[in-house]
Chain A
Amino acid sequence: MPSDGIIAVDSQSAPVRVGEWRRFTRVFLGRGLVIFGFLVILLLVLTAIFAPFFAPHDPYTIDLDSRLAKPSATHWLGTDSVGRDTLSRVIFGTRTSLLVGLVAIGIAASIGMTLGLVAGFYGGWVYSVIMRVVDAIMAFPMILLAMVIAALLGGGIVNVIIALGVSMMPSYARLMSAQVMSIKQTDYVMAERSLGSSNMRIMFQHIAPNCLPPLIVLVTMMLGATILAEAGLSFLGVGIEPPTAAWGAMVSEGREYLLSDPVLSIAPGAAIMLVVFAFNMIGDGLRDALDPRLRGII
């Protein structure tokens, strides 16, 4: 994550204007990996929405007669220890991953950006108080903090989202405050102030929209990290609760049968990798297209 000092140098980056749209699309869509990322995400979103149609079996039906079945025509990826179809569970796991990832990052970004906006705009002791708290939260390894919060709240999808949202908030607050501090010095903000606009109006109508480009990049780039973190929590047993299909938990469950049925662990892990890779590629492309100067900062 960026440190305050480095961001300040590059935060003069101009927001995308309509005239730059062509350049943006050319750079952004000019890369094979970005297109690949988009196609994968599109496919996964469709899979998540239409999971019941794609899944060959019900992901929750227990069938003890065909437990730990090897991959076959009926069960393409075999079945788990209670006979549930692995492929169907991987397909339904898409819902969990995307839902948790998107909502958690939404929470993290909105809390973080609001705090950063207030801190950067008012400066002084408001800045000091908010940023020291943000520093303190950043002192915890993200996965550890999320684990503590999720375990205390008692697991489950909503609690995991809250835990990840809080733990991932600090980087947005930092980037936002750095952005706001440089933008509030610009002429158009000064002009607005001299016209007697209220602080709220200046903050939300004039400063916030102009801070967005790097934050959009950060959101995209952190989506993959959030999905990885959710998988990690579920793997450790403090995340999504069984029987809900979650990739991290499936990798963990499959670990016991690694010797006989490695597919049980490998398949959900491959799914995690695919979705994270796709989001990372889109994030990289977006960063280079929106503002090449952000390279190396976010």
Chain B
Amino acid sequence: MGTYLLRRGLQAVLIILLVSVIIFFTMRLLPGDPILMLVTASEAESATQEQMDALRHEFGLDKPMIVQYFNWMGGVVRGDLGKSILQRAPVGKEILRRLPITFHLGSLAFLMSIIFGIPAGIVCAIRRGTWLDTTVTFLTNIGITIPNFWLGIIFIYVFAVNLDWLPVQGYTSPFIDLAKNTRQIIMPVICMSFFPIASAARQTRSSMLEVMHQDYIRTAWSKGNSERVVILRHGIKNALIPVVTLMGMSISMIIGGAVIMETVFNIPGMGRLAVASVLNQDYPYVQGITLIIAITVVLANLLVDILNGWLDPKIHYD
């Protein structure tokens, strides 16, 4: 186990390094020029070539690419993500300010997918073919189908505009006004969790169905165990292995969903920052945000592998 963890950890570090290389060079090799964006954002005609060169020099964009990369990574290792080209403010500070907001929404959506998705899948599997199964399965099919931004807009139309139950958009820190915060995040969290709930339920249902046909489940029945014992002690634990893998991947989906939902509900989190900085081609921001998101995803998958090892004794670490 020790050597496995070490090897898996090293692999994660390698992947994160690769992620940094990919994002850094993708940004620079594809067309698009942040200095041009900056100049057009202020006064388009008046900027001379010299001024643009000076700006390029200020942000180190005139250096060879490989030097730029090592400068950036040198900073990252020391905890400095560079400064924004458009706002000239430190990127790390702004990301740190917005990270908790996205984490708040994302973790709630993730929790919802566990609380609702997994039990729904289990119930469908053990009551296969009943009206309950048919209804829930249909709902999960809708859940993986519905575009989340559209759902958000419909929610706003129905619950905020027409019924006036919830605020249309915005985000207040829960430490300032918890009641207001709760009302503001209800719709975004529900919209963000729709897809993860549905895919968790689908995955749980099918792996539970698979497991309930295994020999050891038949043995457990034939020993005269109650349904509760068979399902809880023998069924679920084995059925959860692919579900845990999916949950690891759903973190990436939830962050992707946050990018869109924060735009719909005007929430000042990482996702909206990502959209804004991609549109402005603000290299340091895009690099910083994507790197932090990728690290989160890689760590989540590492955790999943360890958890699966604990759930499934058949997985050997060698």
Q: Do A and B come from one complex?
A: yes
Starting from the known contacts A136-B18, A273-B150, 8 additional A-B residue pairs (CB-CB under 8 Å) come to A147-B275, A148-B26, A148-B286, A153-B32, A232-B147, A251-B147, A265-B153, A269-B150
Whole-angstrom CA separation of A231 from B149 in the bound complex: 9
Q: A139-B298, A236-B275, A280-B145 are in contact. Are A152 and B32 (CB under 8 A)?
A: yes
Sample 16 A-B pairs with CB under 8 A, ordered by A number: A133-B18, A141-B293, A141-B297, A142-B256, A144-B290, A147-B275, A147-B278, A149-B30, A152-B26, A232-B149, A236-B259, A238-B275, A251-B147, A262-B157, A296-B203, A296-B207
Q: Check: A165 CB closer than 8 A to any chain B CB.
A: no
Binding site for B on A (CB under 8 A): 1, 3, 5-6, 132-133, 135-145, 147-149, 151-154, 224, 228, 231-232, 235-238, 248, 251-252, 254-255, 258-259, 262, 265-266, 269, 272-273, 276-277, 280-281, 284, 295-297
Q: How far is the CB of B215 from chain A (nearest CB, A)?
A: 16
Q: How far is the CB of B38 from chain A (nearest CB, A)?
A: 15
CB pair A141 B147 closer than 8 Å: no
Q: Which residues of B contact A139 (CB under 8 A)?
A: 15-16, 19, 252, 294, 297-298
Interface residue from A135, A235, A254, A265 paired with B260 (Cβ < 8 Å): A235
Q: Which residues of A contact B242 (CB under 8 A)?
A: 6, 296-297
Q: Which residues of A contact B26 (CB under 8 A)?
A: 148-149, 152
Number of interface residues of B (CB under 8 A): 56
Binding site for A on B (CB under 8 A): 11, 14-16, 18-19, 22-23, 26-27, 30-32, 141-142, 144-150, 153-154, 156-157, 161, 203, 206-207, 209-210, 241-242, 245, 249, 252-253, 255-256, 259-260, 263, 274-275, 278-279, 281, 286, 290, 293-294, 297-298, 308, 315
Q: How far is the CB of B125 from chain A (nearest CB, A)?
A: 11
Q: Which residues of A contact B15 (CB under 8 A)?
A: 132, 135-136, 139
Q: A141-B252, A144-B259 are in contact. Are A269 and B22 (CB under 8 A)?
A: no
Interface residue from A137, A266, A284 paired with B154 (Cβ < 8 Å): A266
Q: How far is the CB of B245 from chain A (nearest CB, A)?
A: 5
Q: A152-B27, A228-B147, A236-B263 are in contact. Are A144 and B293 (CB under 8 A)?
A: yes
Q: Which residues of B contact A136 (CB under 8 A)?
A: 15, 18-19, 22, 294
Q: A224-B145, A258-B161, A272-B150 are in contact. Are A143 and B260 (CB under 8 A)?
A: yes
Interface residue from A5, A141, A144, A149 paired with B315 (Cβ < 8 Å): A5
Whole-angstrom CA separation of A135 from B249 in the bound complex: 12
